[in-house]
Structure 1
Amino acid sequence: MANYFVGDIQGCFEELTLLLKKVDFNPSKDCLWAVGDLVARGPGSLETLRFFKSLSGSAKIVLGNHDLHLMAIHGKLKRANPKDHLGALLAANDIENIIDWLRLQPLYQELPEKNIIMTHAGVPPEWDLATLRQQANLVSHALQSKDYLQDLISQMYGNDIDQFSFALSPLEKQIYCINALTRMRYLTLDGRLNFNCKSPLQDCNHADLQPWFSQTSKLPDNYRVVFGHWAAIMGQTHVANRLALDTGCCWGEYMTLWHLESDQKILQPKLKDVKTS
């Protein structure tokens, strides 16, 4: 059995298909892990979701910010950005089943025998494993409730909740968890989420900001965090146990597939004849 981890797909289904052909991916014996943001920007969001849904136990995904935003769009809480090319997905005859399946997906995944954690954007340095599991599972429980749109999705937008505390209300904790696990990049020196700076590491000129993976973590030292979300750093964290896989395929760069067992990365350049805007 092989474990393959893929960076942000964002509707670039053709590139994903080519990557999986390169490694002869076999869902009967292999497992495909996806760091979230399955949809938006590329032309194949519908095909991507149908593909992962069809893989059943052979796929492990986490929700990204674009996946959560899709729920808001489908629920008529937000309007789709034309640049996200979601028309075919929203008009699909199986869209209700797809959204119901998406709501079952978590904000984090673990491969405990290999000491691997996967989230979309990372793990707050102040969270240990127990806190990560507890807070992410509370969000999953809320997403699976019948009133998820009103009780959570409609409430999750905004930048006000930028630091965690056990004194926060249950809803505030859920919003922070979504902000941290799906939107996090830079943190202030006191651990607050910064939502404004998205620059590559070498271009960030704010002395009070650090990438989340540079701050001391409460996770075990032997744990590796696999994440996406931050295309600007092009997979470079300079931290051995923090593996970034978003390499900007939807922006004209390439998609990255990491083979765990051989510790090798396989790349697929963006198909230049497929337009995303």
Structure 2
Amino acid sequence: MSRYAVGDLQGCLKPLQCLLADVDFKPEQDQLWLVGDLVNRGPDSLETLRYLYSIRDSLRITLGNHDLHCLALARGATDRGRHPTLEALLNAPDCGELMDWLQQQALVLRSDDGRYLMSHAGIPAAWSSEQALSLSREIEAVLQSPQADDFLKDMYGDQPSRWDDSLTGLPRLRAITNHLTRMRASNADGKLELTFKGALADIPPGYRPWFEWQKPHARSETLIFGHWAALECQTGRDDIIALDSGCVWGREMTILDMDSRELHRCTCTGDA
């Protein structure tokens, strides 16, 4: 079995299929890790999800902020931020089935051999790997409970901006979600700057990329994340791998061979 991890898809199906052909991916025997943001912005959100659903037994998925937003729209938990590229998916006859499947996914995953830990936006230095997995399970539990719609309605917002173990209720769930799906920059006290989306050179004073607060090789696992296209997959470290290379912005999609650590890229065309 070969294992691969791929950066943010955002509804760009053709580049994904290009990469899978490039590495000779075989769904019946190989495993594909998806770092989240499967949908939105790109041209084929519906067909992307349908394709992924067809090979679902080969996948391991962590949800991104765009996936959670799509769930909120589909469940009627919000009507704001509706993107034209999601209309075909939200109006599809199999939307409910696809959303039920998406709602079963995690926010943090660890490989069976303990070599990799994956989440959409990253994992703050203050959290151990075990804590990150435990906090992910809190979100998984609520997404699969009768309280899912309440969570999806109230997950929006930038507060609390710091993690505190004593947080409870919806503020706690929102803080977990923001750290795992929206985080890019934080300060020495762990406060998140959630409005920042740019390049490293433009980080606001007092803030640094979340991964710079973590000592090199502080974890036994290599971290895999996406979410931050402006990084262009550059972290300057071998223990933290960024995979969002901005496919939806006309750049590339990147896939990682998790065994050899070789990277493959497919340049996007105008129709993604």
TM-score for the superposition, normalised by structure 1: 0.93
Amino acid at match of 1:255: M
How far apart, CA to CA, are the structure 2 residues paired with 1:266 and 1:258? 7
Moved more, 188-197 or 118-127: 188-197
Q: What is the CA distance between 1:189 and its match in structure 2?
A: 1.6
Alpha carbons 1:5, 1:35 under 8 Å: kept: yes
| Residue in 2 that maps onto 1:13 | 13
| Residue in 2 that maps onto 1:69 | 69
| Residue in 2 that maps onto 1:37 | 37
Amino acid at match of 1:89: L
Q: Deviations over 1:76-132 (max 9, x none)?
A: 233365655011111111111111111100001111414210000000110012211
How far apart, CA to CA, are the structure 2 residues paired with 1:112 and 1:11? 28
Alpha carbons 2:35, 2:64 under 8 Å: kept: yes
Mapped pair 1:147 → 2:173: no
| Residue in 2 that maps onto 1:51 | 51
Q: What is the CA distance between 1:164 and its match in structure 2?
A: 1.2
| Residue in 2 that maps onto 1:266 | 264
* Structure 1: runs of 5 or more not aligned: none
| Residue in 1 that maps onto 2:163 | 164
> SS at the partner of 1:66?
helix
Amino acid at match of 1:178: T
* Structure 2: runs of 5 or more not aligned: none
Moved more, 31-40 or 85-94: 85-94
Alpha carbons 1:213, 1:239 under 8 Å: kept: no
> Paired residue for 1:223, among 221, 224, 227?
221
| Residue in 2 that maps onto 1:211 | 209
| Residue in 2 that maps onto 1:233 | 231
Amino acid at match of 1:185: R
Q: What is the CA distance between 1:261 and its match in structure 2?
A: 1.6
Amino acid at match of 1:44: D
Alpha carbons 2:6, 2:34 under 8 Å: kept: yes
- 1:84-163 matches, within 5 Å, as 84-150=84-150, 152-163=151-162
Q: What is the CA distance between 1:43 and its match in structure 2?
A: 1.1
> SS at the partner of 2:14?
helix
Amino acid at match of 1:267: R
Q: Deviations over 1:131-152 (max 9, x none)?
A: 11211101100000123112x1
Moved more, 209-218 or 140-149: 209-218
How far apart, CA to CA, are the structure 2 residues paired with 1:72 and 1:11? 17
How far apart, CA to CA, are the structure 2 residues paired with 1:69 and 1:127? 25
How far apart, CA to CA, are the structure 2 residues paired with 1:227 and 1:8? 9
> Paired residue for 1:251, among 249, 252, 267?
249
Count of residue pairs brought into register by the alignment: 272
Amino acid at match of 1:186: A
Amino acid at match of 1:94: D
Relative to structure 1, is the Cα distance of residues 82 and 75 closer, same or farther in structure 2, using a 3 angstrom cutoff?
closer
Q: Deviations over 1:55-75 (max 9, x none)?
A: 232110110000000011112
| Residue in 2 that maps onto 1:194 | 193
> SS at the partner of 1:267?
strand
> SS at the partner of 1:113?
coil
Alpha carbons 2:217, 2:239 under 8 Å: kept: no
How far apart, CA to CA, are the structure 2 residues paired with 1:216 and 1:81? 33
> SS at the partner of 2:54?
helix
How far apart, CA to CA, are the structure 2 residues paired with 1:138 and 1:72? 18
Aligned-residue sequence identity (percent) comes to 37
Q: What is the CA distance between 1:234 and its match in structure 2?
A: 0.5
